[in-house]
Amino acid sequence: MKKEFPITLTIAGSDSGGGAGVQADLKTFSSLATFGTTVFTCLTAQNPDGVTGIYEISPDFVTSQLQAVATYFPIKAAKTGMLYSKDIIKSVSVFFYENPDIQLVLDPVMVATSGAKLLRDDAIQSLIEDLIPLAKIITPNLDEASLLLEEPINQYDQLVPMAKKLFQKYNVPVLLKGGHLPNAIEATDVLFDGKSIYEFSKPFLKEKNTHGTGCTYSAAITSFLAHGKNLAEAVGSAKEYLHQSLEDDIITGPTKHLNHFPETFNID
């Protein structure tokens, strides 16, 4: 008997270097036994050294892609990555408002690791007002959380209170990712769902190429939600998958990348 894969969706930008964006999402979806569908918001010219160009897809065509996928596939869970502009965010928001049964993992992609801006300034307010309220979970890193709270986060003991503060401000479960903390021995992330605090820690892996880790993490959460896990279970399993992918990294020309198909990982 053939296995039925749950349907996942990524709404994000293309990374021509293959390490992040839609490309990383699809590798993650496939690795975790879901069938990945896509909506492109932007094309980027980039590699691990940086982004050299961004081409925005028209909001009308973003809507066309969404409709084409949703009218055919029973989407279990979706994630957003690089949305780039206010008009694209509004198009995506309308879709999720009309499809509330699709579990949305919102990765508030604002700035690339290289420093390139991936969200226009006038789009931040639309992200906050139009899309965040429709999400099942948001997954900011420290820089993104600092922008959303308008205050710096740079210490371990801030993770729990700031995760709670984000929930209080936006009324959406928050996974605050602490991997960018300076001099960290452990990579610790905090999930607050409005009732309980969950901490997920793994040893900090030094000298690893972290390009695409945020995309991979949120795509893995999306995959596990599509498989029926609850939020805390999905995040815990996604953390395990991300750590294994970093630990088992692969050589790709002059650098290394995440291994999206680690041999020792079991999705159960």
Which positions are annotated as active-site residues?
Answer: 177, 210, 212-215
Three-class secondary structure of residue 175 per DSSP: strand
Backbone angles phi, psi at 205, to 5 degrees: -95, 110
Backbone angles phi, psi at 207, to 5 degrees: 55, 40
- Residue spans of alpha helices (H) in the chain: 21-31, 59-70, 86-98, 124-126, 142-149, 159-170, 213-226, 231-247
What is the Cα–Cα distance from 95 to 74, expressed in whole angstroms?
Answer: 14
Q: How is residue 263 written in tokens? A: 């041999």
CA distances from residue 238 to 21, 155, 221 in whole angstroms, order as listed: 17, 23, 5
Q: Output the furthest CA–CA distance in the chain (Å, rounded).
A: 54
Inter-residue contact 91 to 61 (CB < 8 Å):
no
Inter-residue contact 51 to 78 (CB < 8 Å):
no
Q: How is residue 133 written in tokens? A: 């309220």
Cα 242 to the chain's mean position, in Å? Answer: 12
Beta bridge pairs of residue 200 = 189
